[in-house]
């Protein structure tokens, strides 16, 4: 009878080993933030911005009251992470509110609706007859705003127009949820309100639809059909600071070009080995033709995944829990989704791109050629083990309070870092494998070059596509999908640089502690997986034992 209790004590004791002084504060923050987001459910409102800003500011003030010097090593790491997170939240919230303020006049009709859904939170009983009259007038006001829209100056970007439309749609959604709370439960409300609500909802949806088209782009379509929004140098530098990257955009571009030159030299070696001399693009074309027939590809993906897992275990590179090996699975990506994700996506489920019946013949061939076995030798383990699946598996079980500190420089950087390590350890079996793995490394370099230059307004989307086709050797449709994903796919402006830059951070940290003999590769890799996501510069403090200052700012020159 005592064994289960003893086991619980042991589990609790082990958990305590991984606890820090700020765990409870961070977990409480997450719970509080979720509660506020559920209560203030309309994110496009002055009420929301005011409350969430106050909430984050209060947590920041309380955090800075802690005696930093009395904290443990992990407590100091959590402090720096949480402080950076709160400052980033406040900065982003200010940007979002400024953008909202620019389009807030589209909600000139909204005050009575806000009063209604705010009252619903505490079940305030409305006067249905009066409310019906009010909503009838609100609908007329919305219709007037819609009628007058052609005379209103157009927004200067599709993003502003889309934000205006989302603000109106969010007002309709929040009001509709409150309407549904009373409908059928309040007989008088149910008698008076259906017709006024139907008319009001239709008016708001029509207005939102018109707003979404009410723009003239200051960024011209260069023929690619991709209209993003360059954020400029100042915004790039601020985001790099929050990500703890102590380099300018130009320095990162220069590093990408240096890495690309290395790839080209290695590609020439592989090309010569395959009999194509210095025409490495001819070698690349030959490798693309090694694609498998439709229907046979998923089985090869499984084989590649198991081979990579066996490789890291046989070489004692990292601990792979048996359940992590057991629980991943595969799904296929739809034709529509492949327009922005023409290759793999990963995690517990590896998502596989390959042709579907509705694709054109050209798109089918590009999908198969772009997902050949040699290209995929680098991407399957990137998505599964030791990449994203193992990351996610360990994040769900270690230092879970830190999951909100995750960054693509840690997430994508770790997965690409393993492409570096497996290359160094002769994972490519032959020259065709080398061509495939180098193709992807060149692609990651190109992502830095085109995405930063785009946001610096030095390149257009079409020039980005041409770079991927001409310098990396992408199929054109796949290149278009990659650029569309970068600028219209909901990713942050630094996401695409995070792969290579994050990998170089992990690689530099490995050089510092493994190549110097301070710890084994397995100890290093297991330690990384025990810490959960964070900027790699902060992780470095844990791995090396270096002290962190209370107001730590990016300073690690890992490329030097």
444 closest CA partner among 409, 394, 477, 476: 409
How many angstroms from the chain centroid is the CA of residue 419?
20
Q: Check: CB of residue 253 under 8 Å from CB of residue 201.
A: no
Report the C-alpha dihedral over residues 135, 136, 138, 142, rounded to 10 degrees.
130
Cα distances from 89 to residues 32, 38, 59, 156, 502, in angstroms, run 15, 18, 11, 26, 22
The predicted pLDDT at position 1 comes to 40
How many angstroms from the chain centroid is the CA of residue 431?
33
> d(Cα 506, Cα 258) in Å, to the nearest integer?
18
83 contacts: CB under 8 Å, gap ≥ 6: 60, 63, 64, 550, 551
How many angstroms from the chain centroid is the CA of residue 179?
35
> d(Cα 155, Cα 375) in Å, to the nearest integer?
43
175 closest CA partner among 93, 107, 105: 107
Exposure letters 243-257 (e unless 16+ CB within 10 A, then b): bbbbbebeebbebbe
> d(Cα 30, Cα 47) in Å, to the nearest integer?
20
The predicted pLDDT at position 360 comes to 85
> d(Cα 102, Cα 211) in Å, to the nearest integer?
14
> d(Cα 480, Cα 486) in Å, to the nearest integer?
10
Q: What angle do CA 30, 32, 36 make, to 5 degrees?
A: 115
The predicted pLDDT at position 344 comes to 75
The predicted pLDDT at position 489 comes to 67
What are the start-end ranges of the H helices in 213-296?
232-242, 249-273, 280-288
> d(Cα 253, Cα 454) in Å, to the nearest integer?
11
29 closest CA partner among 550, 407, 403: 403
> d(Cα 320, Cα 492) in Å, to the nearest integer?
31
How many angstroms from the chain centroid is the CA of residue 5?
41
What are the start-end ranges of the H helices in 65-193?
73-103, 111-120, 128-148, 158-182, 187-192
The predicted pLDDT at position 97 comes to 97
Q: Please, what are the averages of pLDDT over each run of 10 residues along the chain (560 residues)?
A: 39 48 97 98 98 98 97 97 98 96 98 98 96 98 98 92 97 98 97 98 98 81 74 94 97 98 98 97 95 88 95 98 95 78 80 84 84 90 95 96 96 97 96 96 96 94 94 86 82 94 98 96 98 98 95 95
The predicted pLDDT at position 165 comes to 98
Cα distances from 426 to residues 15, 116, 225, 487, 537, in angstroms, run 38, 66, 41, 35, 29
Q: Is 317 helix (H, G, I), strand (E, B) or coil?
A: coil
> d(Cα 511, Cα 519) in Å, to the nearest integer?
11
The predicted pLDDT at position 225 comes to 74
324 contacts: CB under 8 Å, gap ≥ 6: 385, 389, 390, 393, 394
> d(Cα 338, Cα 368) in Å, to the nearest integer?
12
88 contacts: CB under 8 Å, gap ≥ 6: 242
> d(Cα 457, Cα 6) in Å, to the nearest integer?
63
Q: Helices 232-242 and 73-103: crossing angle, nearest 10°? A: 150
The predicted pLDDT at position 315 comes to 97
Q: Check: CB of residue 138 under 8 Å from CB of residue 112.
A: yes
pTM: 0.90
Q: Is 350 helix (H, G, I), strand (E, B) or coil?
A: strand
């Amino acid at each position: 009878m005592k064994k289960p209790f003893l086991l619980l004590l042991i589990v609790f004791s082990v958990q305590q080993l991984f606890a820090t002084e700020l765990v409870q504060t961070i977990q409480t923050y997450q719970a509080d933030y979720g509660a506020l987001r559920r209560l203030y459910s309309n994110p496009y409102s002055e009420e929301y911005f005011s409350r969430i800003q106050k909430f984050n500011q209060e947590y920041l003030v309380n955090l800075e009251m802690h005696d930093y010097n009395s904290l443990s090593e992990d407590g100091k790491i959590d402090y720096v992470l949480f402080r950076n997170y709160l400052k980033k939240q406040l900065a982003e919230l200010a940007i979002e509110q400024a953008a909202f303020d620019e389009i807030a006049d589209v909600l000139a009709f909204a005050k009575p609706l806000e009063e209604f859904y705010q009252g619903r939170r505490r079940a305030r009983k409305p006067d249905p007859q009066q409310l019906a009259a009010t909503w009838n007038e609100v609908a007329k006001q919305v219709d007037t705003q819609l009628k007058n829209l052609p005379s209103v100056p157009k927004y200067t970007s599709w993003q502003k127009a889309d934000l205006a439309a989302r603000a109106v749609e969010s007002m309709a959604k929040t009001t509709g949820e409150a309407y549904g709370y009373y409908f059928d439960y309040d007989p008088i409300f149910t008698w008076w309100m259906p017709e006024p609500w139907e008319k009001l909802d239709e008016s708001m949806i029509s207005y939102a639809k018109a707003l979404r088209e009410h723009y003239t782009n200051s960024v011209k379509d260069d023929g690619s059909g991709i209209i993003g929004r360059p954020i400029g140098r100042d915004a790039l530098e601020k985001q790099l600071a929050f990500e703890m990257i102590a380099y300018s955009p130009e320095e990162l571009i220069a590093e990408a070009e240096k890495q690309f030159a290395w790839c080209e030299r290695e590609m020439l070696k592989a090309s010569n080995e395959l009999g194509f001399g210095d025409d490495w693009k001819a070698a690349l074309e030959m490798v693309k033709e090694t694609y498998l027939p439709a229907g046979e590809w998923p089985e090869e993906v499984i084989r590649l995944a198991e081979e990579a897992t066996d490789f890291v275990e046989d070489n004692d590179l990292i601990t792979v829990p048996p359940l992590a090996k057991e629980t991943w699975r595969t799904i296929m990506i739809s034709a529509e989704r492949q327009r922005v994700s023409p290759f793999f996506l990963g995690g517990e489920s590896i998502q596989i791109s390959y042709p579907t019946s509705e694709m054109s013949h050209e798109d089918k061939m590009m999908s198969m050629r772009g997902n050949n076995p040699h290209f995929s030798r680098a991407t399957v383990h990137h998505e599964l083990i030791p990449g994203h699946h193992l990351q996610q598996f360990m994040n769900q079980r270690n230092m879970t309070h830190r999951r909100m500190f995750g960054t693509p420089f840690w997430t994508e950087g770790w997965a690409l870092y393993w492409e570096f390590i497996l290359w160094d350890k002769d994972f490519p079996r032959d020259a065709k494998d080398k061509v495939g793995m180098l193709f992807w490394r060149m692609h990651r370099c190109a992502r830095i070059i085109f995405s930063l230059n785009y946001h610096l307004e030095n390149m257009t989307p079409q020039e980005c596509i041409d770079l991927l086709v001409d310098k990396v050797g992408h199929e054109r449709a796949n290149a278009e999908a990659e650029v569309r994903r970068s600028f219209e796919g909901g990713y942050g402006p630094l996401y695409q640089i995070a792969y290579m830059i994050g990998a170089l951070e992990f690689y530099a940290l490995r050089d510092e502690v493994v190549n110097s003999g301070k710890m084994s590769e397995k100890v290093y890799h297991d330690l990384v997986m025990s810490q959960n996501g964070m900027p790699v510069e902060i992780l470095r403090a844990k791995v090396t034992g270096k002290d962190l200052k209370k107001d730590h700012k990016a300073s690690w020159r890992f490329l030097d």
